[in-house]
Amino acid sequence: MENFGNLMDGFGIALSFYHLALMAAGVLLGILVGVLPGLGAPNGVSLLLPLTFTMDPVSAIILLTSMYWGALFGGSTTSILFNIPGEPSSVATTFDGYPMAQQGKATQALTLAFMSAGTGALFGVVLITALSTWVAQFALKFSSPEYFAVYLLTFASFIGMGSASPFKAVVSMMLGFACAAVGMDGVSGNVRLTFGFTALISGISFLVAVIGLFGIGELLQTMEEGLRFEGLHARINIRDVFHAIYTLPKYWVTLLRSALIGCWMGITPGGPTAASFMSYGLAKRFARNKENFGKGDPNGVIAPETADHSAGTCAILPMLALGVPGSATAAVMMGGLMIWGLTPGPMLFIERPDFVWSLIASMYLGNVMAVVLVLATVPFFAAILRIPFSIIGPMIVVVCFIGAYTIAGSTLDLWLVLPFGILGYVFKKLDYPIAPMVLAMVLGDKAEDAFRQSMIFSKGSLGIFWTNSMLVASIMTIAMLLLFWPLIGKLIGRLRRAI
């Protein structure tokens, strides 16, 4: 009940005209970012972040999270209308969304997508409301070894649960750690890995990396494919909208299953993309008529959308309560929190309950607003995509570089975007996962500090990660299992075949 009271206080702060206007602005910017290929949620948030440095943290986080919701919705619009996913997490929506649109059911597909996305998000926020205080209280007992174990678990799950080659996941993650280590060392004050370049003393900003990896990298990929939008005309028929809303409860099994998958994948760092694919796969497996999938089955739209959004919202929970983000975008936001002078983690709930609860309240409001705004603006954003890419592409380039410069006002950052862009492009084409790199860049210093402090505690014995408490031992065991899961899974497969 204490949570409920807190939530009402949060609504008290979030329900001001200024904050509602920020939500609307954030959602609209987010839809734009989600609709445009080459701009996605992680780098959209990175581009906006420098503009919030002077804002009050509560207003700033409301703006950024609203942009995130908008981007998640915008990504589905292009998936359904143009068969081009605006976001990696809405790839699975194209499988059945675009066929539906081709059959003249675009309004129905869009409405079902947005409504189920809204339902998924609502599920996520309710879960956050119910669990966050409990998780934060639990995390208060953590000391450095526990924190290091949680970080290790986060990274191990990328290796164990990711679809990419485990070696590639490790490479990407460790490159992130290496970038994080550049510059002043927080413990000893030494300047590391700068190789004599004074401009590197302040380190490599993760925001520059995100703008390069996600922004320029995706643009290069889009350009290479010679992008053309050959979409269907987007006209929203109000009667079709209400009809689609009316049919939504029929799909409650898919909704519930997908929301649960999404919540799980969001809290553990599986992320929205994995959640949407997994949910689509399971919906197909449990469907009565599987052959309808891929030809415009409404279940094939509802399943990925619900999971995508519940994962997206749930990714905020570990970021707030533990200081461990569940997705690349959550990692960027967590970086923002640290820049605003807040420490994500359990202490945030004690020191700044107003911040935490107005954020959670704004998640309810922002998602409702996003559903309405995205439906209302579909024709407008679909028209934006008819502007030739020879204008839009270079404009996105300009926005990305301006964004990189505004982070610290340094020309080095302009240069750094280029190699990160090439790296993002090559890595994406060679199936290196990029999210672990971003997470490692944000968490790098914290993970290193936790490790070094634990080592100082234990006088250099790694045994502390098993003996400090029951908790740390169990987290480490799960982490180790996940870390070696690719190997264990292969062994089990071989044993089965042998029998």
Which chain residues interact with another protein by CB under 8 A? Answer: 50-51, 54, 165, 167-168, 170-171, 174-175, 177-178, 181, 185, 187-188, 190, 192-193, 195, 216, 219-220, 223-226, 388, 390-391, 393-395, 397-398, 401-402, 405-406, 409, 411, 414-415, 417-418, 426-427, 429-430, 448, 451-452, 455-456, 459-460
Minimum CB distance to another protein smaller for 411 or for 467 = 411
Min dist. Cβ of residue 420 to another protein (A): 13
Minimum CB distance to another protein smaller for 116 or for 172 = 172
Yes or no: say if 72 and 89 are a contact pair by the CB < 8 Å rule.
yes
Min dist. Cβ of residue 379 to another protein (A): 23
Taking CA atoms, 240 is separated from 31, 122, 460, 470, in Å, by: 22, 23, 66, 56
Min dist. Cβ of residue 482 to another protein (A): 16
Minimum CB distance to another protein smaller for 11 or for 484 = 484
Minimum CB distance to another protein smaller for 190 or for 289 = 190
Min dist. Cβ of residue 325 to another protein (A): 20
Minimum CB distance to another protein smaller for 75 or for 212 = 212
3-class DSSP string for 331-382: HHHHHHHHHCCCCCCHHHHHHCHHHHHHHHHHHHHHHHHHHHHHHHHHHHHH
Measured at the alpha carbon of residue 277, what is the angle toward residues 240 and 319, in degrees to the nearest 5?
A: 100
- 2-14 and 106-139 helices, crossing angle to 10°: 120
Minimum CB distance to another protein smaller for 83 or for 276 = 83
Min dist. Cβ of residue 203 to another protein (A): 13
Minimum CB distance to another protein smaller for 281 or for 486 = 486
- 106-139 and 91-102 helices, crossing angle to 10°: 160
Min dist. Cβ of residue 490 to another protein (A): 13
Tell me the helix, strand and coil percentages in the chain, rounded to 5: 80, 0, 20
Minimum CB distance to another protein smaller for 170 or for 471 = 170
User: What tokens were used for 436?
Assistant: 């672990």
DSSP-assigned letter for residue 386: T
User: What tokens were used for 13?
Assistant: 């702060």
Min dist. Cβ of residue 463 to another protein (A): 15
Question: Residues of 266-294 as b/e, b for ≥16 C-beta within 10 angstroms?
Answer: bbbbbbbbbbbbbbbebbbeebeeeebbe
Residues 6+ apart with CB under 8 A from 63: 22, 23, 25, 26, 48, 52, 55
Minimum CB distance to another protein smaller for 11 or for 405 = 405
Min dist. Cβ of residue 417 to another protein (A): 8
Min dist. Cβ of residue 247 to another protein (A): 37
Dihedral of CA atoms 376, 382, 383, 386 in degrees, nearest 10, equals: 180
Strand partners, 191: 184
